[in-house]
Amino acid sequence: MGKTNILVLADHPEILATILRLINKNELWNGVGAASATDALSVFQENVFDLVLLGVGVDDQTELVLRSSFTSTNPDMICIRHFGGGSGLLYSEIQHALAGRHNQ
Amino acid sequence: MEQTILHKADTRHSADHGWLQSAQTFSFHGHYDPERLQFGALRVLNDDTVNGGKGFGEHPHDNMEIISIPLEGTLEHQDSMGNLALIRPGEIQVMSAGTGIYHTEYNKDADEPVSFLQIWLYPNQLNVTPRYDQQDFSKKDKHNKWLQILSPDAGDEGVWIYQNAWFHLGDFDKGFEGEYHLKNKDNGIYIFVIEGDLQIGEQVLGKRDGFGIMNAETFVFSVLNEAKLLVMEVPQKW
């Protein structure tokens, strides 16, 4: 079974690095970071992701644009908001999203 | 129709990190329980005890409203906004993590543990400028009455956060009968028993039990044994 590929978008470099470090501690997950919406769209075109985490710095309008673009390319991909900044919520957010239960 | 949810103290996830003992009402860190994710905007309710001289090293947060309520001991807070503060029982600390904040929380006493409630709420605004505040309520009267310690309004009593939530504390005598009226009837209410025993309707609650009530504008309670209560009124949708 392959790894779960997770794209993380956050405009705070240290927080993005923390989130990626925590994700990549899990041997079943592969985290890739993007520091801007433009970067995220570019990375998304070149890779297949199972999950996208929209983190700090993503406003509501950008979220709408990204969700629309992501789902038109890959309708099966899950896109959620990440809260807390790589803290105690990250693991359960990902688990819940992958379980298809996320209701945010 | 009124709905309730009961979280008995002994059903909380218990995490022992050696230096930290944490009883977690909702899924946190490496523990995931799909039935225990949140109560509306209330996402984290951790009952933490930190050994003497130990603490949480520097770590980041964003887009979360974080409230700490010390129960015993003294916690030292330091953050990336330049705040350095001691927080003691009777005081409340609040951080709006917004666009990002780093902080540490240490028990500076080498011998005595510090215990505190760590409470996180989802914010109703994203990417706000981070802010920190703490207030001292130790001289405020909360004997057989509710003391408001948190609201959404900077001009109201207590600390404020970016969410339509209200927190109250109260110390109640055995035999006292009281009630709480919601500030916003669309909110849910989560009662956390810090100490003591009480009864709400048919439900008896003991130390560290949590009880959520939805679709109600008020609740009535009877104190069975001297009780210290925390009531958190939080949006169910935001």
Q: Of the candidates A4, A8, A7, which has an alpha carbon nearest to the alpha carbon of residue A85?
A: A8
pLDDT tens figures, B17-71: 999 999 999 999 999 999 999 999 999 999 999 999 999 999 999 999 999 999 9
Would residue A4 count as lying in a domain? no
| Secondary structure class of A21 (helix, strand, coil) | helix
Domain carrying residue A99: 12-18+36-104
Helices A60-73 and A37-46, axial angle in degrees (round to 10): 10
Give the pLDDT confidence score for residue A91 in this predicted structure. Answer: 94
Helices (H) and strands (E) in chain A, counts: 4, 4
CA dihedral A54, A56, A57, A63 (to 10 degrees): 20
Has residue A4 got a pLDDT over 70? Answer: yes
Q: Which residues of B touch A87 (CB under 8 A)?
A: 59-61, 64
Q: Which residues of B touch A14 (CB under 8 A)?
A: 60, 100, 102
User: Hey, what amino acid is at B60?
Assistant: P
Would residue A28 count as lying in a domain? no
Distance (Å, whole) CA B132 – CA B147 = 21
Cβ neighbours for B77, distance < 8 A, ≥ 6 positions apart = B68, B83, B84, B85, B86, B87, B93, B103, B104, B105, B132, B134
Has residue A101 got a pLDDT over 70? Answer: no
Q: Of the candidates B180, B174, B135, which has an alpha carbon nearest to the alpha carbon of residue B158?
A: B135
Least CA distance to B31: which residue of chain A? A92
> Which ipTM was obtained for this model?
0.92
Chain B nearest C-alpha distance from A40 (Å): 18
Residues listed for chain A: 104
Would residue A44 count as lying in a domain? yes
pLDDT tens figures, A25-83: 999 999 999 999 999 999 999 999 999 999 999 999 999 999 999 999 889 899 999 99
Least CA distance to A98: which residue of chain B? B34
Residue B183: pLDDT band (50, 70, 90) is very high
Give the pLDDT confidence score for residue A104 in this predicted structure. Answer: 41
Residue B2 annotated as lining a ligand binding site: no
Q: Please name each of the domains of chain B with its CATH number.
A: 13-136 (2.60.120.10), 147-235 (2.60.120.10)
What is the reported pTM? 0.96
Would residue A23 count as lying in a domain? no
pLDDT tens figures, B110-154: 999 999 999 999 999 999 999 999 999 999 999 999 999 999 999
Q: Is B126–A58 a contact, with Cβ atoms under 8 angstroms apart? A: yes
Average pLDDT in the B207-236 region?
Answer: 98
Pick from B28, B34, B60: CB nearest A15: B60
CA dihedral B47, B49, B54, B60 (to 10 degrees): 0
Give chain A's domain count: 1
A 10 A CB-CB count for A103 gives 7
Q: Which residues of A touch B59 (CB under 8 A)?
A: 18, 86-87
A 10 A CB-CB count for A1 gives 4
